[in-house]
Amino acid sequence: MSVLGKGLFQGLAVTARNFVGSYFDGGRKERLFTYQYPEEKMPLPENSRSFPFLVYDEDADPSGTMRCVACKICEVECPPQCIYIVMDRDENGKPRQRPEVFDIDISVCMQCQICVEVCPFDAIKMDNDYEKSEYDRYDDLVEHLPQLLKSNEYYHQIKPTEATEVDARLQAEKEKKAAKAAGKKAPAAKPAAKPAAQPTAKPAAPAAPGRKLEIPADAPFNQEQRAWLSGFLSSIQMGAPGPVAPTPAVPAEASTDEQPAAAAAEPEAASEEAPPAGDESWPWHDAGLELGARMDLAKDSSLADQLMAAMAQTDCNACGYDCRGYADAIASGDEDDLSLCLPGEAETEKMLEKLMEEKE
Ligand code: SF4
Ligand code: SF4
């Protein structure tokens, strides 16, 4: 049989049980739902969020170890446009790949976390700190770089699961880069084979006495000049790119047995001497180099390489590609917007325009 108003009495019983139970040890935490703020603060769940902050890795040098490279992707993507970034530069105007100014107007920020989502460097994260009230509604609500910088340790405190995942990802990327760099060095290590090629290359100078141009006996050369010229003419006949510098003693050492080996070694030596031709190695792909230096390094390379050298080399994806991809897309005509390299700023855009004008 149901009693009228039974639910009401059940509710009051729960309240009474919690009220009385809260006076006993062990029952307090479970039964009291109010916090004596600001003395007491409610622990926040990991996925709570307030406003963004910038992560740095070492307490000893926060600004030197901040992860932000001032690529400005977050500035561009922030829906209410409340982020303002100026890239740091040294006394020569060379970009330092870190922000000099990084402001977030938290009176405008809508806590959407898009800046966090788009940052390729895990440099900006959402904070849990909600105590942001200030007396001035304008300047005091603009957070500047020193306020925004917080340690990775702090990040671990507020969001341990997420921070651990980020650390693991960054470590994996670091290892991948190191492995890639080691792989790139492998061709550079090829010259280790050169010593083997060079001794056989020396006999290459007199390698084809039967078919080489003879230097007349009465030609006005001394012994040394004659030997050099002989080597030079031989190298031309062998199709080598330049003079092989034989010592005067070399012709005397040359033997017919050595000739095939020398002839075989010559092209190999020549190919190893040849620069990597930018296939894998892009010496300008160094964000620490100035634009002029990068362009110098790429001046004899393809248009795509020169376009790439004009970019900021941060591979930040602000353009929607990495630097190589953006350059290739412009060179192939798939991309016609030359203003996408945000960290390169106006100087990159101008250089891209110049290169494309020269191409036409
Ligand atoms: S996207 Fe990341 S690295 Fe780029 S400016 Fe913003 S916080 Fe810095
Ligand atoms: S949380 Fe959203 S609104 Fe706030 S700074 Fe980031 S992108 Fe802009």
Domain positions in the chain: 52-160, 209-234+281-360
Q: How far is CA 92 from CA 96, 98, 243, 290, in A?
A: 11, 15, 42, 9
Q: How far is CA 332 from the centre of its chain?
A: 24
- Output b/e per residue, 4-22; b: 16+ Cβ within 10 A: eeeeeeeeeeeeeeeeeee
* Cβ–ligand 1 contact at 66 (below 6 Å): no
CA distance 238 to 290: 41
- Distance (angstroms) between ligand 1 centre and the Cα of 86 equals 11
* Cβ–ligand 1 contact at 119 (below 6 Å): yes
**Is the CB of residue 164 less than 8 Å from the CB of residue 156?**
yes
Atom 3 (ligand 1): residue with closest C-alpha?
Answer: 68
* Cβ–ligand 2 contact at 82 (below 6 Å): yes
State the architecture of 52-160 in CATH terms.
2-Layer Sandwich (3.30)
Higher pLDDT, 261 or 340: 340
pLDDT at site 3: 74
Q: How far is CA 263 from CA 69, 199, 275, in A?
A: 52, 12, 21
The predicted-structure confidence for 84-94, as pLDDT tens digits, reads as follows 999 898 888 77
**pLDDT band at residue 197 using 50, 70 and 90 as cut-offs:** very low
* Cβ–ligand 2 contact at 110 (below 6 Å): yes
Strand pairing class (52-56; 149-151): parallel
**Ligand 2 atom showing the smallest separation from residue 74 Cα:** 7
Mean pLDDT (whole number) for 250-276: 36
**pLDDT band at residue 154 using 50, 70 and 90 as cut-offs:** very high
